[in-house]
Amino acid sequence: MSFFDWLSSRPDPEVPQAPKPEFGPELDDWKRDLPPSALNPVDANKDGIPDAIAGVCIAIDYMDASGASSSRRVIVNKVFHEGGNLYVDGFCLLRQEQRTFRADRIERLWVPPIWREVSDPVGFLMIYLPTPAPDRSDRWQSLSEETQRYMRLYEVRKAANHGLRVLAFVARCDGSIADAERSVVCEYVRNAAVLVGEELNNADCKDIALDIETLFPTKRQVANSLDAIRLYHEQSDIFLRSLKLLVRADGDIVEREQSAVQMLVEILQRQTQRTAKQFL
């Protein structure tokens, strides 16, 4: 028998079975209980890096604290920092339980769907650290300061409101409010603030003084405001000083301003007489 006849008569040798892989497409076919999203993560940029790591199955070569190495597949729950170390929390398919892995002990790491190996496991996992919540303390501080400022200006507005109404009435007698008249009103606001224990800067004084731009009081409203001013002696003093400055602020006292001031004087006289009669 020739060598070739002998060789052809021999049975084929048995091919040894390859061990089941720890990860990869073959295992994907074998492991049917994995959700499709675990093996096909969303990758909008098509760069091989999943947009989110939660719920994604990763493959790792891991060395535990005792130095023992193992190959595992982990469905990631989250990546987090604790005690100065980076950790991966997830469900380990090898142990069939929830486990936590230190990122610096991951020797190799692969991601689906094509099981691309990541060159820097720690750097890769750091991408998925949750973004820290923005520090809102500065914002709340600024809101608190703005609220306090609003309350301060509100108190000053209450103190100056009646005077502003009358000053606006007089300032509009000649048709418009001049810059010099605005300066007088601003100074009136500053003095009114002192009466309620507030010291305003120029910006806040101008802010309140601008109220006269929106005030178009009627004679009845002016009369009511004069009645309110007369009840407070200190407020009456600063109002009268401001009124005198206002009518002379633009240089001349026009006829309308004289008429307005005369009307105010008559109203004050009637109110004084009425008050006197109440006590008779």
Is the per-residue pLDDT at 25 higher than 50?
A: no
Do 183 and 225 lie in a common domain? yes
pLDDT tens by residue, 192-233: 898 888 888 888 888 888 888 888 888 788 778 887 877 776
Do 122 and 141 lie in a common domain? no
Range 235-243 average pLDDT:
80
Structural domain that includes position 216 = 137-270
Do 171 and 115 lie in a common domain? no
- Structural domain contains residue 263: yes
Do 172 and 223 lie in a common domain? yes
Do 32 and 119 lie in a common domain? yes
- Structural domain contains residue 106: yes
What pLDDT, on the 0 to 100 scale, is given for residue 180? Answer: 85
| Residue that terminates a domain, selected from 126, 151, 176 | 126
Do 118 and 145 lie in a common domain? no
- Structural domain contains residue 12: no
Range 256-277 average pLDDT:
59
pLDDT tens by residue, 145-187: 777 888 888 888 888 888 888 888 888 777 778 888 888 889 9
What pLDDT, on the 0 to 100 scale, is given for residue 28? Answer: 47
| Residue that terminates a domain, selected from 126, 157, 182 | 126
Crossing angle for the helix pair 179-195 and 202-209, to the nearest 10 degrees: 110
Mean pLDDT of the chain: 78
Give the number of domains in the chain.
2
- Structural domain contains residue 252: yes
Do 102 and 152 lie in a common domain? no
Do 109 and 180 lie in a common domain? no
What pLDDT, on the 0 to 100 scale, is given for residue 50? Answer: 87
Do 159 and 91 lie in a common domain? no
Q: Are 208 and 189 in contact (CB under 8 A)?
A: yes
Q: Is the pTM of this model over 0.75?
A: no
- 197's tokens: 């224990």
Do 86 and 152 lie in a common domain? no
CA distances in angstroms from 134 to 35, 148, 155, 265, listed in the order given:
34, 24, 34, 60
Question: What are the backbone dihedrals phi and psi of residue 70, each rounded to the nearest 5 degrees, phi first?
Answer: -155, 155
The 8 Å CB, 24+ separation contacts for 221-227 are 221/165, 222/165, 222/166, 222/169, 222/264, 222/267, 223/267, 223/271, 224/162, 225/161, 225/162, 225/163, 225/165, 225/166, 226/162, 226/166, 226/264, 226/267, 226/268, 226/271, 227/271
Do 122 and 147 lie in a common domain? no
- Structural domain contains residue 19: no
What pLDDT, on the 0 to 100 scale, is given for residue 61? Answer: 93
pLDDT tens by residue, 74-103: 999 999 999 889 999 999 988 889 999 999
What pLDDT, on the 0 to 100 scale, is given for residue 36? Answer: 76
Q: What is the CATH number of the domain that holds 93?
A: 2.30.30
- Structural domain contains residue 34: yes
- Structural domain contains residue 131: no
| Residue that terminates a domain, selected from 103, 126, 149 | 126
Do 103 and 162 lie in a common domain? no
- Structural domain contains residue 16: no
